[in-house]
A and B are shown apart, each in its own frame.
Chain A
Amino acid sequence: MELLLQGLMNVLDIKVVSILFLSGAVGIFIGSLPGLTATMGVALLLPVTFGMEPVKGILLLVGVYFGAIYGGSISAILLRTPGTPSSAATALDGYEMTKKGLAYKALTVSTLSSTIGGILSVILLIFIAPQLAKFALKFSAPETFALALFGLAIISSISGTSLVKGLMAGFAGLLIASIGIDPIGGFPRFTFGTANLMGGISYIPVLIGLFAASEAFHTAENVLIQTKTVSTSINKVKLKWAEFKKLIIVILRSTFIGTFIGMIPGAGGDIASFVSYNEAKRWSKNPDEFGKGNMEGVSASEAANNGCTGGAMIPLLTLGIPGDAVTAVMLGALMVQGLQPGPLLFTNHADIVYTLFIGMLFANMLILFYGMLGIRLFVKILQIHKAILTPIILVLCIVGSYALGNNFFDVWVMLIAGIIGYVMNKYNFPPSPVILALILGPMMEASLRRALVISSGDVSIFFTRPISATLLLLAIGTLLYPIILDWKKTRKTTTDAKQYDASNID
């Protein structure tokens, strides 16, 4: 409690409040623009935080992250184009409401649900994270290795349409991660005598390239196409108290679903919003109205995706495991600030952690502020042409990667990563596994080799320790689950096709 009060005092600093106000607006701006994701926003603003104090820098990114997740709903509701993947489910009913002239009401439902979802998920984070961190303090080299492997196993869940491609991207990332000084023996690997490669390839320019520059190249493809026009005048049909009361249960249920899914590494806001949307439909008295402009659909999706933000912070802060691309960038941001996420963060930097918690609550409250006051302004954002945004993003990518260490080599790394990322996106290779591998690869190698030195090369050390064995089992399960699911789906499709052929022959 004392730490929370101290955190509150730290957040009430005028500079911190200003940063939260500004970053929330920037996040909503980025999230509301189709093509600009929360990950891209956080990656793009990461270099801005280098010169800041840890709390201010991280809260700036938190503001952008939370704001962007909420911002995604604006274009989903008004244009039927989700600003971020997390708002895809919002578009289903949100846009139908807009067509009926209820855009203002839909945006109000989205604002309220996002705020409540976000705040409740942070409260859950405050309760769960310290307990999990206490438990994780027992970890030594074998457990750290198992944990890193578990983190890497998430690649199978974030691989999108092709698991093989996701794994290939992950292993290519691991090879890149092995460039530089060997973590145990100090031997330079794949450096070709270049001083720039001695410290390895920094993942920050890589992630700026993969997530921001590649997206900008992708956006440039459609730069000559006129953007969809959106009416700047919105009918002000307000949400009634009686209508809101009916949504409370949906919001609470969706928040818990969102937070729980957010806690599972690999499952992000998009999954959370669709699961909550389905649950809202299943529990609704009018399931047939879903997809035709039902407020419950908007509410479920938005409470869940903002609920997911707090949930995703739990494994990130307590175990140092990023659950998705955006938390991988946040992990990078914490490390740049000298804060190694993991159980020790709670003992060594408890004041900072609790300040972050309070800041997160505040960032969610700002969504309400912006949502209620700025709806008309955000509608205008959607009219900004891509030809204006693309050069701004690319210049920020160049300056941002340079600012990391005032080293031009990082700019080249960013550009190459951007071009590779563009090609990867084009051919369905997910970029997130590369970043996960770059972050977790060195940790996994160092802890594996350290554990093997301790056990004199005996691999049973990983299976005889209960936590390590459990984590390894979880890693294997996480890795194999999508494969089994895919195999079952293929088998069912084949059986159905055979049955269909047989019935046609008959």
Chain B
Amino acid sequence: MKKANQIASLIGIAIAMFFFVLTFQFKQIEYQDTGPALMPRLYSGVLIVLALILFFNSYRTKEKVEKGNVKMALITMALVLTIVVLIPIIGFYIITPIVIFVFLKICQQTNKKILFGLPIGVVLFIFVFFQKILSVPIPTGIFFQ
């Protein structure tokens, strides 16, 4: 966890510095002490101090990183990213069942009822509940508009 904490503190400092520098582009209000930059500067300053504390504390940390199958989590994120990227192009109702099917295959599901039933069931539920009952205009993609 030592290295992870040090990286996290450096990221924290970078984010805080980024916000802090940007506050100098805000307009100055002469008649008022509390302009738009006051709070972001305060937050950035405290974040930098906290990140420094984390950095120096990291040398004596006893925290442990929880182990797990990170590869599987990354695959899941990639699949969600695929849905999010492709929804505006080919539409929710096409990409979602395909990705769910792929996910189930990766998870070594062999039961055909689940393999085909779950993707269809999920989109059917979204169609009925969100599109028909709640009137949410689910994107159908550029080809089907």
Contacts and interface: CB of A to CB of B under 8 A. Distances in A.
Contact of A403 (B35, B46, B47, B136): B136
B39 A390 contact: no
Q: Which of A167, A178, A217, A402 has the most CB of B within 10 A?
A: A178
B94 interface: no
A184 B68 CA distance: 46
Contact of B8 (A395, A402, A427): A427
A457 B33 contact: yes
A222 B68 contact: yes
B73 interface: yes
Contact of A171 (B35, B50, B73, B107): B50
Contact residues on B (Cβ < 8 Å of other chain), bracket: 35 or more
B15 to A, nearest CB: 6
Interface in A214-252: 216-218, 220-224
B70 A164 contact: no
Contacts of B104: 387-388, 391
Interface in B121-145: 122, 126, 129-130, 133-139
Interface string A161-182: 1101101100110110010001
B30 interface: no
Contact of B73 (A220, A391, A403, A429): A220
B139 A172 contact: no
A408 interface: yes
A187 B27 contact: yes
B90 interface: no
Nearest to B70: A221
Chain A, interface size category, equals 35 or more
A457 B29 CA distance: 13
Majority SS of interface residues in chain A?
helix
Interface in A99-152: none
Interface stretch (A65-73, A294-302, A307-315, A445-453): A445-453
B34 A175 contact: no
A429 B8 contact: yes
B103 A187 contact: no
A422 B68 CA distance: 12
Nearest to B107: A387
Nearest to A190: B22
A223 B70 CA distance: 11
B75 to A, nearest CB: 8
Interface stretch (A265-273, A350-358, A411-419, A462-470): A411-419
A370 interface: no
A422 B65 CA distance: 12
10 contacts: A51-B134, A165-B54, A167-B50, A175-B19, A187-B36, A398-B84, A399-B92, A403-B134, A453-B32, A453-B34
Given A184-B36, A190-B22, A427-B65, 9 more contacts: A165-B8, A172-B47, A184-B34, A185-B29, A185-B32, A223-B69, A394-B76, A406-B136, A428-B1
Interface of A: 48, 50-51, 161-162, 164-165, 167-168, 171-172, 174-175, 178, 182, 184-185, 187, 189-190, 213, 216-218, 220-224, 385, 387-388, 390-392, 394-395, 398-399, 402-403, 406, 408, 411-412, 415, 418-419, 422, 425-429, 445, 448-449, 452-453, 457
